[in-house]
Chains A and B, each alone.
Chain A
Amino acid sequence: MVIVQHFVNALQWGSFYALIALGYTLVYGVLSLINFAHGDIFMVGAYIAFFVSTALLASDSFGLSHFQALSLTIPLTMLLTSCVGMTLERIAYRPLRRKGAHRLYVVITALMCGLVLENGNLALLGASRRTLPEMLDKVVYNIGGIAVTNLKIGVIFTALLVFVALQYIVTRTRMGMAMRAVSWDKFALPLMGIALDRVIVFTFVMGSGIAGLGGMLFAMSYPVLDPYMGSMVGWKAFIAAVVGGIGDIRGAFLGGFLLAFVEIMVAAFLPSTFRDLFAFTVLLLIMWQRPTGIFGAPQTTKI
């Protein structure tokens, strides 16, 4: 029974990792750019959720119920977070792309963008931690001795839904086709009459919108926010995406859950200080066997 409880927890954490890993993999798949600011976009998403929900609930004039506030906060958070992602693309990555800068500089720029987001947040909002207002009235289901909250079910369900939707967009829609085309050959896309920037902006909007959603769900599950909350989770999600095979959507999804399972199972049976050591050792072993990740094909095939 205890093991099943751990299993449920692993599914929840896997969902958080997967939601972030999907954004990493999307941007990498299309642009071969490791967007190291992505973990911090997740953090920004949590803060945006905090401000939006606080504003919605604080003013009596709206007179919103918790559920109404929640259903407004989700799209607003995703929208505003994708604006942040879009802005980064616009002011940081696009100029470098125009100049044909080497990948290394783009990656360093991404790292710096992440630091700017973290420290900008710190400077603007101060070090005090914030708490997301309660928007979901907690319900605990007791299924055969296992306690599952409605929030957990929601988180897992959301991750699954996002995965299916992304997979659909990438494989079945024209925009997805254009994204795959860009991943193979950026030069030739405009020759198809399609604006390259439009496809790239769309990619960033998707990636950061999903990260915003993840940040919000994370903040609902662990309501205390701080400016560095995205960095460790972000790194782990990045590793999960690489282990899954970066550039592959299935890989990011699976990698997120894999990491969560290893972590939670290790923590269940060993002292908690062993958790990361074991988790990363397992991931190292996988990489050792499959350097391109579980779903990753060599170099050229991304997304």
Chain B
Amino acid sequence: MLRVENIFASYGKIEAVHGISFHVDEGEIVTLIGANGAGKSTTLKAIMRLVPPGAPVLTKGDIFFEGRSLLTVEPHNVVAKLLIALVPEGRHIFGNLSVLENLILPTWTRKNDPDVPMDMERIFELFPRLGERRNQRSDTLSGGEQQMLAVGRALMTKCRLLLLDEPSMGLAPQLMYEMFRTLKKLNEGGLTIVVVEQNARLALQVADRGYVLDTGEIVAEGPCAALLDDPEIKKIYLGG
């Protein structure tokens, strides 16, 4: 479904990603793990074709989605036409908009889609807290609720491939497991998922396959069970 081929990505003169390749098949959950500054967020932003400032420039390599190169696709079309969505690091919800408005905004490009109200109901089923607070200004939500909103908002694009950048950030352990259970549920419903996660153990338990990044390069990859057993990875990323 998604194929990243030897990409190099830089912010100005600083190169953050030096030749990363990986692929995601339809129906999979793939996780990218690695230390701070390894280039995980950079990779996701590059896939979304987001532009500077804030996102890197792709200097080399190519990204294919269902066989089609993304290089010439504009970021809003990556979302609206190709149906790839990103839950960005740090949530980036629109704090001055109500919860409901945050969820309506991504449906703008689905103008004549009769499923919108149903999808909205599904989000409220998935995250009942959002339903209770639908008319509240979204910057008055708690951190965890904001994270749910960020995920809900991405799902409202009706994406087929969902990229998540540290969806568990700032969540209490309980909510963190809940979030991953939700992802699993979505995946069982047919959504393909790429998740970047600090909590490597949790991510590897939920995902099918994983890639380990270190300073802009992939240093290990494989089925999650194998990565979980790898002594080297255990030592560095799973805390022994």
Contact = CB atoms under 8 A, between A and B. Distances in A.
A191 B79 contact: yes
A193 B79 contact: yes
B157 A192 contact: yes
Interface string A256-286: 0000000000000000000000000000000
A298 B92 CA distance: 19
A184 B101 CA distance: 13
A159 to B, nearest CB: 26
Contacts of B50: 187, 190-191
Interface in A83-130: 98-100
Nearest to A186: B54
17 contacts: A98-B52, A174-B104, A174-B105, A177-B104, A181-B94, A184-B94, A184-B97, A185-B93, A187-B54, A187-B92, A188-B88, A190-B48, A190-B75, A191-B85, A191-B86, A195-B74, A300-B96
B109 A194 contact: yes
Given A98-B51, A100-B52, A192 B108 contact: yes
B95 A194 contact: no
B116 to A, nearest CB: 12
| Chain A interface extent, by class | 20 to 34
Interface residues of B, number: 32
B18 interface: no
A184 B108 contact: no
B80 interface: yes
Contacts of B53: 99-100
B104 A191 contact: no
A300 B93 CA distance: 13
Given A177-B97, A184-B94, A187-B50, A194 B88 contact: no
B70 to A, nearest CB: 13
Interface string B73-91: 0111111100001101000
B79 A190 contact: yes
Interface centre among B50, B53, B76, B77 (most CB of A within 10 A): B76
B154 interface: yes
Contact of A190 (B52, B76, B108, B153): B76
A100 B157 CA distance: 28
Interface centre among B92, B101, B153 (most CB of A within 10 A): B92
A208 B52 CA distance: 27
A99 B57 CA distance: 12
Given A190-B50, A191-B88, A300 B95 contact: yes
Contacts of A99: 52-53
Nearest to B150: A188
A77 interface: no
A25 interface: no
Contacts of B95: 184-185, 300
A185 B105 contact: no
B109 A177 contact: no
Contacts of A300: 95-96
A301 interface: yes
Interface in B48-75: 48, 50-55, 74-75
A188 B87 CA distance: 9
A193 B109 contact: yes
A196 B51 CA distance: 11
A52 interface: no
B106 interface: yes
Given A178-B108, A184-B95, A191-B86, 9 more contacts: A177-B104, A188-B92, A188-B93, A190-B75, A191-B75, A193-B79, A195-B74, A195-B76, A300-B96
A180 interface: yes
A191 B55 CA distance: 12
A191 B88 CA distance: 9
Nearest to A301: B96
Given A98-B51, A187-B54, A192 B97 contact: no
A131 to B, nearest CB: 46
The 7 closest A-B pairs by CB, nearest first: A100-B53, A193-B80, A190-B75, A188-B92, A193-B79, A193-B109, A192-B106
Contact of B105 (A98, A177, A301, A303): A177
Contacts of B54: 100, 187
Contacts of B97: 177, 180-181, 184
B51 to A, nearest CB: 7
B154 to A, nearest CB: 7
Nearest to B45: A187
B157 A193 contact: yes
Interface in B37-55: 48, 50-55
